[in-house]
A and B are shown apart, each in its own frame.
Chain A
Amino acid sequence: GNSVTQMEGPVTLSEEAFLTINCTYTATGYPSLFWYVQYPGEGLQLLLKATKADDKGSNKGFEATYRKETTSFHLEKGSVQVSDSAVYFCALRRGNFNKFYFGSGTKLNVKP
């Protein structure tokens, strides 16, 4: 079946620290991979995506590379800010419909 596993939180970092949130997936075929972010009081927002192996998605200083050999899509940022505090969800989509399989979310707290 299709599933996503991501590291449990919460993750607490100091401002300007390096961030990694691990995400691995199980899927048949060749899924597209996504990171969504939910800031406090807001809905889910697309952060970045990658549609094929070795693609790198990037946005707002965040990056993730689609690794088919390790079935992973880890989220990284070189220097986090307090404003990055949010819940991050890794997700996959198979086929051409917006039917996502999400992970359980990782809450990030960034302290000044």
Chain B
Amino acid sequence: EAGVTQFPSHSVIEKGQTVTLRCDPISGHDNLYWYRRVMGKEIKFLLHFVKESKQDESGMPNNRFLAERTGGTYSTLKVQPAELEDSGVYFCASSQDANTEAFFGQGTRLTVV
């Protein structure tokens, strides 16, 4: 069975551009999470979807970030416009239920120059 898959694995963009990250959760997992690790610091929670609904988006840093999960399957995280401080590794995770084991993807390394 495929695990959590993230695309792209790396992205380098210029400040002011737009980038869209994609996450494909494990099939059947209703719960999907986004996290990010900036500058080698702690991994921070961004938001949590239950199917297509945002359960908790308290970690989203500002309105330049937009997460969607249309149809309750894959999710996208768009950064528009990107700033230098957005550089980091963005992780996606999914779980069958909200409190069962969360499985993480490999992450997308975003570099804003």
Interface of A with B (CB < 8 Å)?
A: 4, 36, 41-46, 89, 91, 96-105
| B: number of interface residues (CB 8 Å) | 27
Partner of A46, one of B3, B40, B101: B101
Asked if B105 and A98 sit within 8 Å, CB to CB, the answer is no
Given contacts A43-B91, A98-B102, 12 further A-B contacts (CB under 8 A): A42-B106, A43-B3, A43-B4, A96-B99, A97-B56, A98-B33, A98-B99, A99-B48, A102-B35, A102-B44, A105-B40, A105-B42
Inter-chain CB contacts under 8 Å: number:
58
Asked if B56 and A102 sit within 8 Å, CB to CB, the answer is no
Asked if A98 and B106 sit within 8 Å, CB to CB, the answer is no
Closest chain A residue, CB of each to CB of B100 = A98
Cross-chain pairs A/B with CB under 8 angstroms, 5 sampled: A36-B104, A46-B102, A97-B56, A102-B44, A105-B40
Q: Which residues of B lie under 8 Å from residue A98 when comparing CB positions?
A: 31, 33, 48, 93, 95, 98-99, 102
Q: Which residues of A lie under 8 Å from residue B106 when comparing CB positions?
A: 41-43
Asked if A103 and B42 sit within 8 Å, CB to CB, the answer is yes
Query: In the complex, what distance in Å separates the CA atom of A4 from the CA atom of B42?
Result: 9
Given A43-B3, A43-B91, A44-B91, decide whether A97 and B48 contact each other with a Cβ distance below 8 A.
Answer: yes
